[in-house]
């Protein structure tokens, strides 16, 4: 098994389908990779051979996916922020994370097809929010958007 590099690593509890989820996430995020997959043996609780745990590296950070059954589900209380430098990046991640049953939400939030929440946001927002004169205008325009539009945000800040 690969040595874990993060001191703290998120563990995402899936009802099922973590092998599909692992392959999906490494297809969405550039330079992502699956580093380990462990399968259930005779001891269960899921059928022998089913993936129990998958470990991924996304954006240089380790994630663990656990195939734990239907006991727990994802909620918006936990989300992952995808920091985007350009509108093309926002458009790419928005499309990929909402495809095949994902869902758009407000203010740059999406749920992927597994129900995991993501925030697809431009890196300029924290800088613009530092200026109190710009912050209210930026917040107002962002609150009215689904997929964030860098040009509209910059126009609101100007």
How confident is the model at residue 7, as a pLDDT?
87
**Domain coverage including residue 137:** 79-157
Task: Choose the final residue of a domain: 46, 67, 88.
Answer: 67
Q: List all residues 6 or more positions away from 77 whose beta carbon is below 8 Å from its beta carbon.
A: none
For residues 58 and 93, membership in a common domain is answered with: no
In CATH, what number is assigned to the domain containing residue 144?
3.10.180.10
For residues 33 and 83, membership in a common domain is answered with: no
In the predicted structure, residue 1 carries a pLDDT above the cut 50: no
| Averaged pLDDT score across all residues of the chain | 93
How confident is the model at residue 44, as a pLDDT?
78
For residues 116 and 140, membership in a common domain is answered with: yes
For residues 50 and 99, membership in a common domain is answered with: no
In the predicted structure, residue 77 carries a pLDDT above the cut 80: yes
Q: Half-sphere exposure of residue 103, counting CA atoms within 13 Å on the CB side?
A: 8
Q: Within a domain: residue 89?
A: yes
Dihedral sign from CA coordinates of 36, 39, 43, 46: positive
For residues 60 and 87, membership in a common domain is answered with: no
For residues 89 and 143, membership in a common domain is answered with: yes
In CATH, what number is assigned to the domain containing residue 46?
3.30.720.100
pLDDT digits (tens, 9 = 90+) for 81-132: 999 999 999 999 999 999 999 999 999 999 999 999 999 999 999 999 999 9
pLDDT digits (tens, 9 = 90+) for 20-31: 999 999 999 999
Task: Give which of 110, 112, 92, 94 is closest to 102, Cα–Cα.
Answer: 112
Q: Within a domain: residue 18?
A: yes
Q: Within a domain: residue 6?
A: no
pTM above 0.75, yes or no: yes
Bridge-based pairing state of the strands 117-122 and 79-84: parallel
For residues 92 and 148, membership in a common domain is answered with: yes
Q: How many domains would you assign to the chain?
A: 2
Tell me the longest C-alpha to C-alpha distance in the chain: 63
In the predicted structure, residue 3 carries a pLDDT above the cut 70: no
For residues 15 and 46, membership in a common domain is answered with: yes
Q: Within a domain: residue 72?
A: no
Q: Within a domain: residue 74?
A: no
How far is residue 151 from each of residues 29, 75, 87, 115, 157, measured CA to CA in Å?
A: 24, 30, 8, 29, 10
How confident is the model at residue 138, as a pLDDT?
95
Question: d(Cα 75, Cα 78) in Å, to the nearest integer?
Answer: 6
């Amino acid at each position: 098994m690969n040595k874990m590099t993060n001191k703290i690593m998120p563990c995402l509890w899936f009802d099922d389908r973590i092998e599909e989820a692992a392959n999906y996430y490494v297809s969405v995020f550039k330079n992502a990779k699956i580093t380990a997959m462990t399968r259930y043996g005779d001891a269960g609780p899921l059928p022998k051979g089913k993936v129990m745990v998958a470990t991924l590296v996304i954006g240089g950070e380790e994630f663990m996916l656990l195939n734990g059954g239907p006991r727990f589900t994802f909620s918006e209380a936990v989300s992952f922020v995808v920091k985007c430098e350009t509108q093309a990046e926002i458009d790419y991640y928005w499309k990929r994370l909402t495809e095949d049953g994902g869902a758009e939400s407000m203010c740059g939030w999406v749920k992927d097809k597994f129900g995991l929440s993501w925030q697809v946001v431009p890196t300029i927002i924290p800088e613009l929010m530092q200026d109190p004169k710009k912050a209210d205008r930026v917040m107002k325009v962002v609150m009215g958007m689904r997929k964030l539009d860098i040009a509209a945000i910059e126009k609101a800040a100007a």
